[in-house]
Amino acid sequence: MLFSEDKIQETNRRGRIEVICGSMFSGKTEELIRRLKRAKFAKQRVEIFKPAIDTRYSDVDVVSHEGHSIASTPIDSSASILLFSSEIDVVGIDEAQFFDAGLVDVCNELANNGVRVIVAGLDMDFRGVPFGPMPALCAIADEVSKVHAICVKCGQLASYSHRMVKNDKQVMLGEMTEYEPLCRSCYQQAIKEDNA
């Protein structure tokens, strides 16, 4: 029995889930864009998604703090990813913490169907609490890359996103005027000062 080259390539696809997590300003989106551009360079079929609420740099593109960008599809619900990802080799998802809990099942379904899924997002919110579907995504991932920012107070590796403005809502889009990356020690000190 003869197989076409396309058929052999389809049967050899191995799905996987890669999670890139860390604090704000740690390079998560930069790493996501780098991996997706490499996949495109390798002539793989790539589709990128971001939450429709994230309009900080662009309404449609995924844009890193460094200014690098890649075209994406803004969506309101994780279920929409399945509608747009047929015949795709690689799916990229940015700001995954803003999606609903269904994102975990969506990523599993894609990976089980042979798709490479690359997800980037904050692992903790400004309170230091696991954020949205990210903890569950880390649990089911084939690979987790925790990236770090540099603490703006002491220069150590930073894992926390300290919110510098008064606002108790978990979701608050912001940049360097609203958030700063801190190491554990400097974050604990900042929280004490915030609550004084």
Q: Which two tokens stand for residue 38?
A: 């490499």
pLDDT at 2 (0 to 100): 46
Rounded distance, CA 152 to CA 156, Å? 8
Choice between 53 and 12, residue whose per-residue pLDDT is larger: 53
On the question of pLDDT at 7 being above 80, the answer is no
On the question of pLDDT at 93 being above 90, the answer is yes
Which pLDDT band, with edges at 50, 70 and 90, does 24 fall under? very high
On the question of pLDDT at 3 being above 60, the answer is no
pLDDT at 111 (0 to 100): 97
Q: Which two tokens stand for residue 152?
A: 């703006």
Which pLDDT band, with edges at 50, 70 and 90, does 63 fall under? low
Rounded distance, CA 134 to CA 124, Å? 8
Enumerate domains of the chain plus CATH numbers.
Answer: 13-148 (3.40.50.300)
Choice between 67 and 154, residue whose per-residue pLDDT is larger: 154
The catalytic position among 95, 109, 175, 178 is: 95
Q: How far apart are the first and last CA of the chain?
A: 75
φ and ψ at residue 61, rounded to 5 degrees: -80, 150
Which pLDDT band, with edges at 50, 70 and 90, does 59 fall under? low
On the question of pLDDT at 172 being above 70, the answer is no
Which pLDDT band, with edges at 50, 70 and 90, does 176 fall under? low
On the question of pLDDT at 107 being above 90, the answer is yes
Rounded distance, CA 183 to CA 122, Å? 15
Q: Please name the residue that has the structure tokens 């999670």.
A: 19
Facing residues of 158 across strands? 149
Which pLDDT band, with edges at 50, 70 and 90, does 151 fall under? very high
Q: What is the mean pLDDT of the chain?
A: 87
Whether residue 95 lies in the annotated active site:
yes
Which pLDDT band, with edges at 50, 70 and 90, does 9 fall under? very low
Closest alpha carbon to 116 in 90, 144, 148, 136: 90
Rounded distance, CA 32 to CA 28, Å? 6
